Structure 1
Amino acid sequence: DAVVQLLFNSSKVYVNAHDSLYGRTPLSWTAENGHQKAVLLLLSTHRVDTNAKDTQHGQKSLSVAAKHGHLDIVTLLVERESVNINSEDIIGQTPLSWAAEYGHLEIVNLLAQMEGVDIHSKDDKGRTPLSWALTGRRVKM
């Protein structure tokens, strides 16, 4: 933690650097892996771009966290005014669609209740969050 904190505190460290593997940022990786402390550290720098997209799939950190079921990270990200809750990746899938596809009920509930969220958003093939929930066979009867 001390090494990470030291690097975060350095103004020479570019916190929005995209890696050469998937074009992902440190925030994206920490969001995927559920590292809440690291996400908090990144957000505390006020230099992190919460809307940075990876270069492979066009996903933002919010979509990654929603897809992987990290409610705590999704909550941290949506509390930021700068975060686009309806952001679309290269196929038009939104954070709500990802959460619905993978059956993350608490995240779906959180996102669906947020002001401005488009619960009827359609991806490039016309699929909605409900379609993704059905595709993922996550429908509770």
Structure 2
Amino acid sequence: MAAAAEGVPATRREEQPPRDDPAVETAEEAKEPAEADINELCRDMFSKMATYLTGELTATSEDYKLLENMNKLTSLKYLEMKDIAINISRNLKDLNQKYAELQPYLDQINVIEEQVAALEQAAYKLDAYSKKLEAKYKKLEKR
């Protein structure tokens, strides 16, 4: 063993410390995992990556389906609102047409109201005049 160690530089010679000493740590050479272990780890990694990506794509797909459903519901609501607006517009046109048909009668009512007000004023004046006339008659009657 000494002859074999002579051809190796002193820095490469490893001296083995006694393994009985608990204070002395020993370094172990890092070993590469066996080829079968690497293949198994790669398969496991690719399987888990595929599961992760499938989950991400499924979540994105579900988000788009939800968005599609929300868009469909919104579209239906807008169609309902459009129908309501059309009905309101139709009813407003009917109401305006009826108001236009009633306008001559409303004008007549306004004229009659003005005439009634004038007649009322005339009645007040006539009442005041009749009271004055009655007072004069009573005054003349006393004489």
TM-score if structure 1 supplies the norm length?
A: 0.17
Structure with the higher helix share, 1 or 2: 2
TM-score if structure 2 supplies the norm length?
A: 0.16
